[in-house]
Structure formats: structure tokens, C-alpha cells
Chains A and B, each alone.
Chain A
Amino acid sequence: MAAGRTIGGNGSGRSLLHLGRASGAALRLGGTVIVTLFGLLLVTFLIGRVVPIDPVLAIVGDHAPADVYERVRLELGLDRPLWEQFYRYAAKVLQGDFGRSVLTSNPVLTDIARFFPATLELATVATLIGVAFGVPMGVFAAVHRGRMVDHVVRVVGLIGYSVPVFWLGLIGLLLFYAKLGWVAGPGRLDVGYDDLVDPVTGVLLIDSALAGEWEVFGNAFRHVILPAAILGYFSLAYISRMTRSFMLEQLQQEYITTARVKGLAESRVIWRHALRNVAVPLVTVIALSYASLLEGSVLTETVFAWPGLGSYITNSLLNADMNAVLGGTIVVGCVFVGINLLSDLLYRLVDPRAR
């Protein structure tokens, strides 16, 4: 038995009970989220303080005289005990003050507001590509299990798993940008298009569309498509493999045989009956791969000179710029929690039993 529809209960007592249960769950969920984020903050903070890197040097540089060094050390509060440093930091964070990044001189939140949309844009396009190609490929491979198509899909997936992303990125640039000229080069826009569109969301594709600047939109699209395709390929590899194995399991179920015996068209059997039942685990898979892309992918960002969150956090970490690292980590943590909540909601949409 699968895909059974729940028989609607319509008693008002039941819906009250449902409401109570829901608010209890929301409370529990809120508690979990807070504990998770707090734990994340604490662990990141401690790691930042125990790494053998002197954060003062990141600010004043190697050549600064001793008095400058000492003053900055005191300014950072590094002379105080660890618990006090953390307490001060956490108290500020609770007031919405994440401090300043040492490296960029900007408030951390300002930086994140600039870098995160770049990552969001890239990750979203990449995930769309991954889903648009990965799901049909997985289904297709499962249906034609053991035949040539299946092998091709699996090899494509395997390559996606095993080829290093920076290599693929460079080769992609060499081929599609340098040799063929199909796409634009590294960066988010050509120099000539800089500053033509006022940032509203920070996602160039959206901002330019809102402003009706279609030339800018086209240029932004030409810039995002290659890195997104590269990242999309990696999420495609994951999504197609998982889709394939979910589908294989479903296609062996009795209801599929029943449907076929009933004389339903094969495409209907596959796309309406079988695929629908893998929707829930598939949403989880897609959400996970989207979330991991939203962390920012350092290598792709580096190769494509993409000013995203991944290289921001990494660069900050390498320079012991802990305010930026902590702020970035919290954002990534929130993204994970948010995507999880979102996929929970999606379950309810695709699986009536979860309503």
C-alpha cells in the first residue's frame, strides 16, 4: 500500500487537538533551533580561539610596532578569560550586533548581505539545473535498468562524484569561455555593466529583472550559467543516483504491477504513480544538496572569481578574523535549519499522510 489518501476527519475536537499538538511541536522546534545555533556559536568560537594563529597579527600586520600590537590585543579583549570573551560576544550577538570584520572593515552583517546573495544566486541556478536534469535522468535509468542508458547515467553520475570541481571549472572556462566564447568569464558581470542596477535583493538576476534592465540580466545570466552548470553537475550526480535507487524500489512494488495490469499508459505509471511516491525522500535529497551549495563552494568561487560566502568565510578563517567566521557560520546554520523547515513543509504538500 502506498500513496493512499487519508480519509478526512472533520470533527472540531480533532482540529483543536491538532492545533495544540502543532504549537507544542513549534515550541519544541524553536527550542531545538536555539540550542543548535548556540552550540554552533560556542564550538566555532572555541575553535577560533584555540587555532595557533594570532588574530592581532591579522589586523596590524607583521611589521607593526609592539605598542600598536598591544593596543589592538586589548581592544579585541584577548587579555580576558575565554568564558568572558564568549559571554561578551554572545551578548552582542543577541542584540543583533555581530561586530566588524577585520579584513573588510565592514560590519559582518553588511558583508554577509553582500556575499550571501551571490551564493544564493549561484546555488539556486545550480540546484535548478541539478533537479531539471538529475530527476529525469534518475527515473530514466531506473526504468531502463541494466541497459545502455542506465550505464550512461551511472557513469555520468560517477564522474560527477569523482572529478575535482576546480579542475572541471577551469576546463569549463577554457572551453566555453576562452575557446568557444559561449559564456562570459569569471566574475558576476562584465566591467561595463557594473553599478547599472541598484541592489535590491543582491541577486543580480532578480534585481536586473525588477529594474527591467534586460541587457544586464543577459550579462548576469551569461556569467552565472557556467559556474552554476558545474555546481549543478555535482548536485545532478547526487540527485540522479538517489532518484534512480528510490525509483527502482518503487517500480518493484505491487501497485505498479496493478497499474500496469489495469492498462495504464507506461508514462502515467512512471511519472504519476511511481515518481509521486519517491517525492518525499527526493525532496530531502534535493534540500540537502541545496543547503550544501548555500554554504558557498570555496573552490568554484575561487576559480570563477565569484564573491560568495564560501570564500568570505574561508578567507576570514585563514586570517583568524573570527567575527566574520562566526557571523558566517551562524548564517549557514540558519540556512540549514531553514531549508530543513522548508522541506518539512514540502513533505506536507507532497505527502497527504504528513498533513
Chain B
Amino acid sequence: MQLATRALTVLAGLAISAVSFGALAQTPRDTVVMAKQIDDIISLDPGEAFEASGSEAVANLYDKLLEYDLKDVSKISGTLAQSWSVASDGRTYTFKIKPGLKFHSGNPVTAADAAWSFQRAVILNKSPGFILGQFGFNKDNVKEKIRAVDAQTLVMETDAAYAPTFFYYCLTAAVASVIDSKVAMQHVKGDDFANDWLKTNSAGSGAYRLRSWRANESYTMDANENWVHGAPKNKRVVVRHVPELATQRLLLEKGDVDFARNLSKDQLDGLAGNPSVVLDKGNKGTIYYIGLNQKNPILSKPEVREALKWLVDYEGLAKTVMAGRYEPHQSFLPKGYLGAIDDKPYRLDIDKAKALLAKAGYPNGFSLTMDVRNTAPQTDIAQAVQATWAKAGIKLDLIPADGRQVLTKYRARTHDTTVYAWGPDYPDPHTNAETFAMNPDNADDAKSKTLAWRNAWDIPEMTKAIAAAVKEQDAAKRKAIYEQVQREHQKTSPFIVMFQEIEIAARRKNASGFIIGPSYDNNYYYAIAKN
């Protein structure tokens, strides 16, 4: 027993020594601390960052020429640009940079910086490069087509007369951030346009400058007192990678972080009774849908496609597994985008579905497979759909797999059906319209592999309509085209659009002001104040 006593004494001593290390260092008042999953960040270079977390970081480090009102998408205003206009040819855009603006380094913000930033994004042609490239810029012509006329004047010439709104919205995307070219030039290696250095450093004029970045661990930003919209309401933002959601919740409840960014329904339910925690919500552009591969002869029948749309319990799912984080949405443009519609023609109606299936020649149903990413909410949606489809005699086998595996299969067009999510690439309706409703070439080796292509949906007419929409000079007419195409799309497409994501940030009651925009590059920290 002597030994046990000794062991216990040691144990107690250890516990006491742990306690005696004193009170917790609470997060300082002027520092905002967030717990978030940030292991998706590959790069902090605005010309390369394209993941949710990376875009968010870039949005807070850099400014763009233009921005739009998050509450009213039709209001475009200047961030770095004082004025902007398009010539009568519809192809030549002129931007005047606001005078007196400075980068974090103290260098003045000039048209030459903007030109260099756009040129490099086009020449590097990383994942988001096409957002600028789609206006006819390429590595051979961009230095001539995008140029600084003088210190304050930037001229950009597109290859065709596009809808001006299309061009302007694309310039609000992260890839169109203006980089401090003088600082970046000091870090150029070969012909990399400082890409290597900018992956892990910042050189911008945004609300914050990057203080430190540790992959899979944290990033820290310091406020820029001289920001174009005035000094941020906090001095520093620390975002820590906390992969486990239950851990995020504990940190928040304990007050060691001010925000927990990825809580799921379980954690949110558990927080409901906590008076010191508040939920901030915002519509996100991400859309959840089921894709029906038209290479499958059964799915290629219009009646079958329509029947399957009547076989999803949209409301039931929204109230249960999707509650709080997703809301029903049945068209391809998310709320908050130009031309978005709120029509929801479908609900769960098994009789109607059965009648349609009988008409298609399948009164007793058929068998299908569904590839599902093995994470929430995809698995929840898939299981619910499996149950409702069974009621019409459709036997659905779920094939759960890692996300990358599902994606690889989806891109090879070897699936029957799949539950998938799509997030817009830039804040213009064309991003979703192009992928959901354009398929210029349905061949297996096609160059353009849109979602319509992935589901082998051959739609020459709709493709033409969307191509016309991006050239429509009149914003109201342009909006009308999208509305009309979406209504057609709802009826005939092999996409069962079901939900739009709502982003929820759980926060301490005393830390308010976080701005959640429709895309990840509209999530802003500058207005967060702690009291």
C-alpha cells in the first residue's frame, strides 16, 4: 500500500502544480480570436487562393478596385477606384484610382500596381486566373490590354463587348486584389511574379496586414490604421485551426475564443441555452444539389428527371438534418446574386412521381447508385433521399467515399447520381449559370467541363442563351434572361437543386460586428468590436 500512497501523492502534486500556474490569460480586449478549420488554405496569394478559408484571409488583407453592397448586389461602389467607365465600344474600361492611398509598406497605391496585379494573375493562370482570363486576356496580350496610362489611370480592353456588370462583379473577386508591386518585386524568383513569397506573406492595402501564417495551425493579422474605409475596430485578429468541432464549442463556452466558425447542428443545439453565446448568420452562395448523369438511359428520360424532383422531402430535411445551416432553395442562382429567383415548384409528392415514372415506362421503379462524400450534410441528404425514392419503387444504393474519390469519379462521368455542393467562384450570376446551364461540347474530351457536362446534359439552346446574357449591356434585360433560364432549368435539368447554405458563426456576446457576405471573400473582420 505504501507504493499506492506514494503514487497518489505524486498525482495530487501534479494536479496542484497545474493549478498553481495561475489564472488563464484571457484574450486581450483589442484582439479577436477565432477557432476555425483552416487546413484548406493552400495559398494566401490573391492570384492563387481559391478555397473558402484562403479567400476569406485574402479579403481581409487586400483591397480591390470595386466592391458591391452586400445587402443590395446591384449597388457597386469603389474601394480603390474613384471612378470607372466604359467607352462606347463596350470594350474599353477606364478606372481612376483614389489619390493619396497607401499600401501597408507606405508605398502609394497606383494604377501600375493594379495593372501588375491583374497581369500576373492572368499570366500565372492559377485556379482563379480564368475569372480575369475569360475577358480575352492571356499571357501574350495582357500587358498590352491591361495598362496604366498614368499613376492614377488604369485602362483595360476586353475582347468583346460584355455586360459591364459582368466585368465589374468579376473585379470584386479576390483574384482582382491590388498587390503592392514594389514590395512583391523584391521577392520575385525567376518568372514566378513573387507567387512563392506571396503564398505565405501579404503585400496589400487591406484592413489588415499578415503578421504570421503557420499552415494547419494559425494565422494572425494586425489592423491597418490607414485603411481606405478607416481603422478597423480591433487591433488584431488571430484565427486558430481547431479541427474538432466539439473542441471549438468548448473553447467558445470557456471564453478562450471569441468566435467558433464551424459548429454543426449538434454543437449549435447544445449552445442554445448559453446566454453568453450569440449566433451570427448569413446566406452563403453554396448550393446543394443532386446530379443525374444523362449517360444513364433511365435518367435521360425527362419524366424520370421530373419524378425524382418530386421525390425529395425538401421541407422535412430543412427542419431536421439541415436545420439552421441550410434553407430550401430550388434554382441555380443563390440568394444575393443578380437574377436570383425564389421559386420553389417542387415538394414531396409521391403520387405525382409515381404517375410520371409510369408514363416513362417504369411503374415498378428501377435501381440506381449514388456516390456520396462521407461527410455531413451529404450523407444525411443521401439517406433521406434513399428513403423517399424507395417509396416510388426506386432502389438507390449509396456508395460512400472520401470527397476526393467522389469528385474524381464525378469528373470522369462514371456516376449514376451524386449529392454535391457548388460554391460560386465570383460574385456574378455567370459563374453559376455557366456551370449549371452551359455545355458547349458534350464529348468526353471536351475542353469545358461544366457541371452540365459532368452530367452529360447536352443543351445547345440554353448554352446560347447564357452566352448572350454575358453580353447583354442592359442590366435589367440581363437579369430577365437569368430568371427565365432558371425557370426552364428547374423543369428540365438533371439537377435537383435542394438547399442554399447559411453560414453560422457562433460568437461571444461581447464580440459583435463580424460581416458574413454571400461568398467567402466577403467575410470581413474590420467591424468586429469587443466590449
- Measured CB to CB, the residues of A under 8 A from B are 52-54, 57-68, 71, 101-106, 111, 114-115, 132-133, 136-137, 139-140, 149, 166, 170, 173-174, 177-178, 181-187, 190-195, 218-219, 221-222, 225, 302-305, 307, 311-312, 315, 318-320
Contacts and interface: CB of A to CB of B under 8 A. Distances in A.
Interface stretch (B245-253, B296-304, B337-345): B245-253
B278 to A, nearest CB: 19
Given A52-B405, A53-B404, A65-B130, A191 B4 contact: no
Given A140-B4, A305-B243, A307-B217, A190 B256 contact: yes
A105 B199 contact: yes
A256 B31 CA distance: 65
B18 A222 contact: yes
Interface in B24-75: 24-25, 27-28, 31, 33, 35, 39, 42-43, 50-51
Given A53-B404, A60-B127, A63-B127, A183 B18 contact: yes
Contacts of A222: 18, 21
Given A53-B404, A105-B215, A177-B250, A182 B15 contact: yes
Given A53-B405, A190-B24, A178 B238 contact: no
B408 interface: yes
A184 B461 CA distance: 62
Contacts of A184: 24
Contacts of A105: 42-43, 196, 199-200, 215
A178 B251 CA distance: 8
B246 A170 contact: yes
A303 B130 CA distance: 38
B425 interface: yes
B33 A186 contact: no
Interface in B168-202: 196, 199-200
A193 B25 contact: yes
16 contacts: A52-B408, A53-B404, A66-B449, A103-B39, A137-B7, A166-B244, A173-B250, A177-B250, A178-B250, A182-B19, A185-B247, A190-B24, A218-B22, A311-B216, A318-B404, A319-B404
A67 to B, nearest CB: 7
Contacts of A320: 404
B510 interface: no
Given A68-B130, A102-B42, A305-B242, A195 B212 contact: yes
Contacts of B130: 64-65, 68
Given A106-B200, A173-B250, A185-B256, A132 B404 contact: no
A304 B247 contact: yes
Contact of A149 (B4, B240, B242, B250): B4
Contact of B214 (A114, A173, A181, A186): A114
Given A194-B220, A305-B241, A62 B407 contact: yes
A136 B10 CA distance: 12
B129 A68 contact: yes
A219 B18 CA distance: 10
Contacts of B405: 52-53
B216 A315 contact: yes
Contacts of A140: 3-4
Q: Specify which of A68, A149, A191, A302 lies most central, judged by the most chain B CB atoms within 10 Å of its CB.
A: A191
A187 B365 CA distance: 53
A54 B407 contact: yes
B243 A221 contact: no
B53 to A, nearest CB: 12
A182 B254 CA distance: 13
B489 interface: no
Nearest to A305: B242
B126 interface: yes
Q: What 10 A-B pairs have minimum CB-CB distances, sorted nearest first?
A: A104-B215, A307-B217, A105-B199, A218-B21, A192-B25, A53-B404, A64-B127, A305-B242, A190-B25, A54-B408
Nearest to A59: B42
Nearest to A195: B212
B448 interface: yes
Nearest to A183: B18
B447 interface: yes
Contacts of B125: 67-68, 71
B470 to A, nearest CB: 16
B398 to A, nearest CB: 17
Which of B50, B247, B250, B448 has the most chain A CB within a 10 Å cutoff? B247
Contacts of B14: 225
Nearest to A102: B42
Interface string B388-422: 00000000000000101101110100000000000
Contacts of B129: 68
A77 to B, nearest CB: 19
B402 A53 contact: yes
Contacts of A149: 1, 4
Interface in B111-130: 125-127, 129-130
Q: Which of A184, A186, A192 has the most CB of B within 10 A?
A: A186
Interface in B229-285: 238, 240-244, 246-247, 250-251, 253-254, 256
B33 to A, nearest CB: 5
* A63, A133, A139, A320 interface centre (most CB from chain B within 10 Å): A63
A307 B253 CA distance: 22
B214 A307 contact: yes
A312 B217 CA distance: 10
A137 to B, nearest CB: 7
Contacts of A218: 21-22
B454 to A, nearest CB: 10
